[in-house]
Structures are given as C-alpha cells and as structure tokens.
Structure 1
Amino acid sequence: MSWMVDKLEMDGCLYQDDIVDYLVRNDNEDFLRENSDGNLVLDRSLLKRFKDLTSDNVVWVQSDFYWRYRVLEDDTGRKARG
C-alpha cells in the first residue's frame, strides 16, 4: 500500500478509479472485489491497510471517489465534503 501513499504524495490526490485501473493492468485483482452494482472496487483489506498508513492526514471525498490530504477546514474523521 506504500505505492498508494507514494502516488498520493506525488499527485496530491488519489482517485479510486485510477487505483482499480492500475491493479487490473498489473494483474493484482486480488485487491479488488465486485460491488452490488457489478463494478470493481477496492477490497476492504486494501482499504484498511491504506487507512492504517494515512489515518491522521488523509480524507476521503466520497462525492468524487478520491482521497486527498487533510486541510484545516476539514471536520474530524475520515470523510471530507469536497
């Protein structure tokens, strides 16, 4: 999961779709699962490891499906408003 942190550091944000595409292209589909809509999404074990590495300084922007670094305006917790 350190490669996810590296990508976040390089780009400032990390889109879920980009991670899914990367894992498919690199034959790492063990880190993916199919959701109820039939879409490939990140496996919960991968998400937990990523959260363990970034819980203090990264938030999830649910409306656009990406992670970014926390800013002063963010509420406490993992989810951000945008």
Structure 2
Amino acid sequence: MSTPQEIAQWLMDEITARGRNRSYQRRLVPRLREQFGDEWLYRNQNNNWAIDRRILKALGPLKTDNVIWDRSDQSWRIVDDDDLARIRERDEVRKQRREEARRRRTERQSERESE
C-alpha cells in the first residue's frame, strides 16, 4: 500500500512534468485512482472527486512557492518569479479590499445601532 508521501511525490512529478501548463485535478484524479486506488479520493462539497487531504498535506513540503493551486479552475501550475510576484501583489490588493469592505460594514452597523 502506498503512503501519502509517495502519492504526493507522484503528484509533484506530474505537476513538474507539465511545466508551465496546468495540471487539472479532474485529469489527475482518474490517474491517481488507477495507480493508487479509491481510498485516496473523496467527493468534496460540490460533489467533485478530490484528492485526499493527507496527500495534499504531504505535497506541501515538496513544492516550491512557484507551484501554485488555482482554486478557480482546480489546477496546479508552475509560475516564474515575475508571475509569482504579480499573483502575490494581486492577492494583497484583494485582501486589503476585503478588509476595507469589512471595516465599512462595521462602521455602518455601528452608526445604525447608535441612531
């Protein structure tokens, strides 16, 4: 029987082999099932097949910052340093916008309560 670490290494090898091309989870799942069995897969809240969290946890130490997960299309990809910097900047701007929106909601709620 395979371990999460062995399967994570297989997954990392698959991602690396595709280079800058995306490695879609929906394409990896059937291959993972074929090589390692159903016990490493589950149905997520959207009823999609997903990779066991133990494998994803074991994948963490294997990957560099340049291997990213794109939640919007459920894929991994390798990005260069410039892309990574842009992604981090974009994420920081989004975080600041969320925090600002949260602050405004809190202020409006406080104003309503004080009326």
Q: TM-score, normalised by structure 2?
A: 0.56
Greater share of residues in helix: 2
Matched, 1:6 2:19: no
- Give yes or no for contact 2:40–2:51 (8 Å, CA) kept in 1: yes
In structure 1, the residue matched to 2:88 is: 75
Distance in 1 of aligned mates of 2:46 and 2:76: 22
* Unaligned stretches of 5+ residues in structure 1: 77-82
Amino acid at match of 1:33: Y
Q: Does residue 30 in structure 1 map to residue 39 in structure 2?
A: yes
Question: Do the aligned partners of residues 27 and 53 (structure 1) sit closer, same or farther apart at CA in structure 2, a change above 3 Å counting?
Answer: closer
1: CA distance between counterparts of 2:61 and 2:40? Answer: 16
Are the counterparts in 1 of residues 33 and 40 from structure 2 also a CA contact under 8 Å? no
Seen in structure 2, the aligned counterparts of structure 1 residues 7 and 28 have a Cα distance that, compared at 3 Å, is: same
Aligned residues: 76
What is the aligned counterpart of 2:28 among 14, 19, 23?
Answer: 19
CA distance in 1, matches of 2:11, 2:48: 20
Name the Cα RMSD after superposition.
1.9
Larger CA Rg, structure 1 vs 2: 2
| Corresponding residue for residue 67 of structure 2 | 58
Calculate percent identity across the aligned residue pairs. 30
Moved more, 28-37 or 43-52: 28-37
Unaligned runs of 5+ in 2: 1-7, 90-115
Higher strand share: 1
Normalising by structure 1, what TM-score?
0.74
